[in-house]
Structure 1
Amino acid sequence: MSSPTPRAILEYGLSSGNVGLVQMLGLCPLLAVSNNAVNALGLGLATVLALTATNTVVAAIRRLTRRDVRIPAFIMVIAAVVTSIELAMRAWLPELHAVLGLFIPLIVTNCALMGRAEAFASRHDPARAALDGFATGLGFLWVLLAIGAIREMVGEGSLFAGAGRLLGLPGLELVAEGYPGFLLAMLPVGAFAVLACLVAMRQAWRLRVAGGAA
């Protein structure tokens, strides 16, 4: 079986195989943490790093791991990588770590990590596996960030509020003075509504492209 090209790997992770919009994996953090753009960006970047590192390590040890212990070995790799990310975030971004809380270690349970480790990294070389992990994580990040940004703008009339305190990037903060707010967007139902709209937009775009091609 021929190996996929880098372009095909990127297209799959970002669009056709997007874990958030297509495969619907990792919906717990996708919906729970996306109440604002800063939280979404923080968790999304952590997931990108976790997927890239996990895929790379799994691909590197794929010939050394017996079939009967493959899954436990993958779980240990994922747990070690996510624990390292959590400790680094606690050391360098303590306020963001406090806000995200339990959702950082819960990256271990994100089906996308185990899914890509088993379906791709265990069957390809480390370079392609790393690119696949990066593309998959980036696809998850952009969906998470889109939901967080939309909910924050509609719900509070701001964008990246708290970026100075949590990320040390005050230049990202945008606030609309006098905006009354829309509470529904900040509630859990708002996350489901925004995700549903994104999925519907993607489906409409695919149908339009398919119709144009026909």
Structure 2
Amino acid sequence: MNPIKEIAWQGLWKNNPGLVQLLGLCPLLAVSNTLTNALGLGLATLVVLVSSNVLVSLLRSYIPSDVRIPIYVMIIAALVTCVQLLVNAYAYGLYLSLGIFLPLIVTNCVIIGRAEAFASKNSLSHAAFDGLMMSVGFLLVLCLLGGTRELLGQGTLFDGAELLLGDWATMLRMQLWQVESPFLLALLPPGAFIAMGLLIAAKNAMNDKVEAAVAPKKETVKVERARVTN
């Protein structure tokens, strides 16, 4: 597998930040009660992660190794501040909805982890692509979790989309079924833990199924190679 495909595979599936590394769970579980909140936080994380990877890759030759972690944190904090100010200016409703979890992107282990493990050791293009794939993987988990919880909790999708996209986005709201009262288990943190556990279990089951299907083929290839060698 070439490096680009490997980076994409790692970020989207094999080493997904939310489903495999289990990083950034605090904001992932806390604000994913609606698809709009999940999408907003995911996009903010994407901007920060890609930008931090790019800056760390560009500056890696100038950063002393003994103080690299504090410098990475300073870079990430500066980027998060910029994103926070932009969201405050152009999507104030979403800014209020995300609350403390927007500035807490600074402490998201996905971002500092990719800066240390990948961006500081690889070229600009690979670092930027790694940031994109890791953040897209995180965004997909956020949106899947947020959409599922919103759907089960209140029977809607894209409720409050105007907070992120503007007044025109009210037309995106879909009421798939009517509920007399919200299903609070889905909307509150316990429901987030349950839904997250089910997502992880589903991914592991898919991996096991693929491994079971591939194992006989690998064994056949080994036998054929042994025959050729003999």
TM-score over 0.5 (shorter chain): yes
Percent same amino acid among aligned pairs?
47
- CA RMSD of the aligned region, Å? 1.1
Q: In 1, are the aligned partners of 2:152 and 2:183 still within 8 Å (CA)?
A: yes
Aligned position for 2:135: 137
1:99–1:8: structure 2 CA closer, same or farther, 3 Å change rule? Answer: same
Match of 2:60 among 58, 62, 77: 62
Aligned position for 1:178: 178
Deviates more, 1:203-212 or 1:182-191: 182-191
Aligned position for 1:149: 147
Q: In 1, are the aligned partners of 2:92 and 2:163 still within 8 Å (CA)?
A: no
TM-score relative to the length of structure 1: 0.96
TM-score relative to the length of structure 2: 0.89
Aligned structure 1 segments of 4 or more residues deviating by more than 3 angstroms: none
Q: In 2, are the aligned partners of 1:31 and 1:188 still within 8 Å (CA)?
A: yes
Aligned position for 1:37: 35
Q: In 2, are the aligned partners of 1:164 and 1:173 still within 8 Å (CA)?
A: no
Match of 2:77 among 63, 76, 79: 79
What is the CA-CA distance between 1:176 and the residue it aligns to? 3.2
Aligned position for 1:160: 158
Structure 2 residue 211 is the aligned partner of structure 1 residue 192: no
CA distance in 2, matches of 1:152, 1:202: 21
Name stretches of at least 5 consecutive residues in structure 2 with no aligned partner: 216-230
Q: In 1, are the aligned partners of 2:161 and 2:173 still within 8 Å (CA)?
A: yes
Q: In 2, are the aligned partners of 1:47 and 1:137 still within 8 Å (CA)?
A: yes
Question: Which string of whole-angstrom CA distances, capped at 9 and with x for unpartnered residues, describes residues 13-68 of structure 1?
Answer: 11111010000000000100011100000000000111000000000000011111
Aligned position for 1:102: 100
Equivalent residue pairs, number: 211
